Amino acid sequence: MSAPSVIVVGAGPVGCVAAAALAARGIHVTLLEAAPRLPRQLRASTFHPATLDVLEELAPGVVDEMLGRGLVAPRFAYRDRRNGVVARFDLGSLADVTRHPFRLQCEQYKLCEIMLERFERAEHVRVCFGAEAVAAAAAGDAASVRLASGETLTADAVVGADGASSAVRKSLGLGFDGMTYEDRYLVLSTPFEMAEHLSDLEYVNYISDPDEWLVLLRTPELWRALFPVGDGETDAEALSDCSAQRRLNGVVARHEPYEVAHRTIYSVHQRVADRFVVGRVVLMGDAAHINNPLGGMGMNGGVHDAVLLGGSLAAVLLGDIGADRLDRHAELRRKLAIEYVKRHTHENAVSLAAPDGAARQRALDQMAARAGDPDAARAYLLQASMINAVHAMRAELEEVGHVRHGGITPVSTSGAVPN
C-alpha cells in the first residue's frame, strides 16, 4: 500500500513545519508556495523557549542551525521611555523546565530556509514555487486544491497554511470573526547600534510612553522598532522618511540621518476561524488565527498548531487514531488561540499603550512587582515563554508521538508547570 499523501498550501513557517511533521511520519507531502521563491519579509523574529523545544523534538538539529543564524536573548525588559528599565525578566530561571531558557531572535524566513534545505534531501517532500492555490475542497476521505493555473491536485488531505488571507479558508466558507484594532503599527529597522547609546538595553524591550510607546528588538543584523501610527496619520505619512527620522531620533537623537533598512506598516487584528478542520482539510497558523503581534505569539502559536495538528493528521491517515481525535486536537488549538494568546497580547498592549496615564503606571508597577517576586516572575515567564501553552497540549502531543525525549515536560517537581 502506498503512503498517504498531503498537500500543504503555503511555505511560510507554519506550512514548512507542518510539512516536516507529516514527512516525519512517512507521509508524502506536496508543499505549494504562491511566490516564485521563499518570501523574505521582515515579520516574526522571536522564537519562544517552548517553540524551540517542540521544534527540536520534531526535527533534531534544526534549533542548532537556527542558533547559528540568530541571537540568544536570555532576558527581556519593560522600560519607561523617560525613566529606563522598570522590570527585567530572566528566562534563565526556567532552565529546569525547558532546554532552551531564552528567546531566539531569528527571522522567521530563516526557519523556512533551513526546512527547505532539508526537504531538498527528503524523499517524501516535493516543493513547488509559483503554485498559487485558489480553492480547496474536502470530499470524503480525500481533499483537493485548485491552482491558479487551472490544474486540480488531489490527496488524502490538505493543510491550509496560506496566511491571514487564506484562499483555503475562504473557499471553505468559514467565518473569521473577531476585530480589527484601530491602531496600525509601523516597523522600522536600522543597522545603527542603539545599545551603545541606551543603557541596559536587552535584545527585547517593551518601552512604555504616554505619547509614543515602542517595542525595540535586536535581530542579528539590525535593530527593529515597532511604533503605533497616529489616528490622523496616513500610511504614506507614517512610511515617509520624515516620519522614520523623527521616530528613530526620538529613541536616540543623532546628528546624522538614520539608515533605514526596512519599513512596513500593518493593521492589527484579533480573529479566529470558526473551525480549523473541515473533513480532510486542516487550517493552521495565520490562516486559522491572527492576533496582536505584541508578545510575539502569532508565528509561535502557528508552529505549535503545525506540530500538534500535523502529527494528528499523520496519525489519522496512518490509522493510529480516529478523525474525532484530530477534531478534538483542533478544538484545543482553537481554544488556546482564543484564550491564551489573546490574554497575553492584550495585557502587553495595555502596559505599553494605555492612554490613561494612571492605568499605564499601574500596569508598569504591576510588572515591576512581578519581576521583584520570584514566584510571580516564574508564573509570568511560564506564560510568556509559551511553556504553559505547550504544556496544555502535552497529553495530545504524547498521543501523536511528538514527545520523544520528554523535553517539553517538567524535568523536576519544583518546576511543575501550573495551568
Residue ranges binding ligand FAD (CB under 6 A): 9-15, 32-35, 39, 43-46, 108, 132-133, 161-163, 167, 187, 264, 266, 285-287, 293, 296-300, 302
Q: Taking the complex as a whole, how short is the minimal distance between the CB of residue 56 and ligand FAD, in angstroms?
A: 17
In the complex, what is the shortest distance from the CB of residue 415 to ligand FAD, in angstroms, rounded to a whole number?
24
* Nearest CB to ligand FAD, comparing residues 101 and 302: 302
For the CB of residue 40, give the shortest distance to ligand FAD in the complex, in Å.
Answer: 10
**Closer CB to ligand FAD, 108 or 351, in the complex:** 108
CB of 323 to ligand FAD, least distance (A): 23
- Indicate the residue among 33 and 347 with the shorter CB distance to ligand FAD: 33
Residue whose C-beta lies closest to ligand FAD: 12
Q: Please say which residue, 39 or 410, places its beta carbon nearer to ligand FAD.
A: 39
Three-class DSSP labels, the chain? CCCCEEEEECCCHHHHHHHHHHHCCCCEEEEEECCCCCCCCCCCCEECHHHHHHHHHHCCCHHHHHHHHCEEECEEEEEECCCEEEEEEEHHHHCCCCCCCCEEECCHHHHHHHHHHHHHHCCCEEEEECCCEEEEEEECCEEEEEECCCCEEEECEEEECCCCCCHHHHHCCCCEEEEEEEEEEEEEEECCCHHHCCCCCCCEEEEECCCCCEEEEECCCCEEEEEECCCCCCHHHHHCHHHHHHHHHHHCCCCCCCCCCEEEEEEEEEEEECCCEECCEEECHHHCEECCCCCCCHHHHHHHHHHHHHHHHHHHHCCCCCHHHHHHHHHHHHHHHHHHHHHHHHHHHHHHHCCCHHHHHHHHHHHHHHHHCHHHHHHHHHHHCCHHHHHCCHHHHHHCCCCCCCCCCCCCHHHCCCC
Distance in Å, CB of 146 to ligand FAD, minimum: 10
**Closest CB 233 distance from ligand FAD, rounded Å:** 18
- Report in angstroms how near the CB of residue 403 gets to ligand FAD at its nearest: 22
- Grid coordinates 523536576 are at which residue? 412
What burial class does residue 406 get, using C-beta atoms within 10 Å of its C-beta: 0-12 exposed, 13-18 middle, 19+ buried?
A: exposed
Q: Which is nearer to ligand FAD, 4 or 15 (CB)?
A: 15
Q: Is the distance from CB of 291 to CB of 345 less than 8 angstroms?
A: yes
In the complex with ligand FAD, which residue's Cβ is closer, 4 or 293? 293
Nearer residue to ligand FAD within complex by CB, 18 or 321: 18
Q: Between residues 228 and 296, which has the closer beta carbon with respect to ligand FAD? A: 296
Considering beta carbons, is residue 45 or 388 the nearer one to ligand FAD?
45
| Least distance between ligand FAD and beta carbon 353 (Å) | 16
Closest distance of CB 223 from ligand FAD, Å: 14
